[in-house]
Each structure stands twice: as structure tokens, then as C-alpha cells.
Amino acid sequence: MTPSNVSTEATKVADLTIDEFRKLVQEVVIQTLSEMMVDPDEGLELRDDFVEELKQSLADVKAGGKTVPAQKVAERLGLLQSAMNNSTQLSDDKFEALADALADEFMEYVGPDCLPLSDYAVSREGLYGDHL
């Protein structure tokens, strides 16, 4: 009896050999990971206006526009230390403090004249044309 042809209705886990059980668990893990790693946006086309905004952003950077490496932002916010010590979960207060610091860093980067993005602008529909 192999895990691929094991009937879940007719077979109990107790009836499987250790090797059959291991293979069954392995198949379930592989299937679950495969389902989780599917990119729901694969094959979708970016809207033309969004592509133009990305190109403009890249051109701004090439022209000397200010950028901050993600590593530097993470260090300033203490995120690297938190990520390495993942055995402890952030308290609500610590999370709020990190979120506020990230928002402050973002505002420092974009400046006070930056208009907020609409919900539509950051939605799947806003990024991709002809997709609901």
C-alpha cells in the first residue's frame, strides 16, 4: 500500500507502516507548500499607467533621487534584532512603536507633500488591467 493510493475512508493511520505514513506526510507537506507558494498574480499584466510610474521612479533614482537601503531602515527600526530572536513575539506596544517608527521613516523619505494612495491604487484591480 503506497500513500498515493491510500483511501482515506478505508484506511486508518494505524494500518499504515511507518514508511507509508512518512510518505503520506511528505506528500501532504509538499502539496500544502505547493498550494501556499502559488503566485495569484502570475501571468497578469501590469496596467500601462502603473508601468509608467515604475519607470519614472527608476528614472528619479538614476537621476540622484534619495533612496534608503532596506537594510539600513531595518537596522534603525530594530527589525533585524527582532527577526533573529523570533522566539519572542512582539508585544502590542512594541509593535505599535515599530509601526510608528516605520511610518516616520517613510514620511522622512517621501516628504510632507506626498499624497496618500487610495485603496484602489494598492489593490489588485489598481495594479493590473482587466482583472477582478
DSSP string, 18-48: HHHHHHHHHHHHHHHHHHHT--TTTTPPBPH
Residues 73 and 99 in one domain: yes
Contact status, residue 98 vs residue 79, Cβ threshold 8 Å: yes
Q: How confident is the model at residue 8 (pLDDT cuts 50, 70, 90)?
A: low
Residues 69 and 27 in one domain: no
Calculate mean pLDDT across residues 27-49.
85
Calculate mean pLDDT across residues 67-94.
72
- Structural domain includes residue 103: yes
Please state the φ and ψ torsions of residue 23, each to the nearest 5 degrees: -65, -40
User: Which is more confident, 73 or 10?
Assistant: 73
Q: Mapping DSSP to helix (H, G, I), strand (E, B) and coil, where does residue 112 land? A: coil
Which of 12, 6, 10 has its CA nearest to residue 26?
A: 6
Residues 75 and 116 in one domain: yes
Rounded to whole angstroms, how far apart are CA atoms 72 and 84?
A: 16
> Percent of the chain, pLDDT > 90?
3
20: number of Cβ within 10 Å: 16
Residues 70 and 24 in one domain: no
Rounded to whole angstroms, how far apart are CA atoms 21 and 16?
A: 6
pTM to 2 decimals?
0.33
- Domain boundaries, position 103: 48-127
Which of 34, 3, 37 has its CA nearest to residue 17?
A: 3
- Structural domain includes residue 42: no
Considering its fold, how many domains does the chain have in total? 2
Contact status, residue 68 vs residue 109, Cβ threshold 8 Å: yes
Residues 72 and 30 in one domain: no
Residues 60 and 31 in one domain: no
Residues 63 and 21 in one domain: no
pLDDT of residue 1: 45
pLDDT above 70 (res 9): no
Residues 104 and 53 in one domain: yes
What DSSP string describes 78-110?
A: THHHHHHTTTSPPPHHHHHHHHHHHHHHHHHHH
- Structural domain includes residue 15: yes
Residues 27 and 84 in one domain: no
- Structural domain includes residue 7: yes
Residues 74 and 96 in one domain: yes
Residues 84 and 21 in one domain: no
- Structural domain includes residue 29: yes
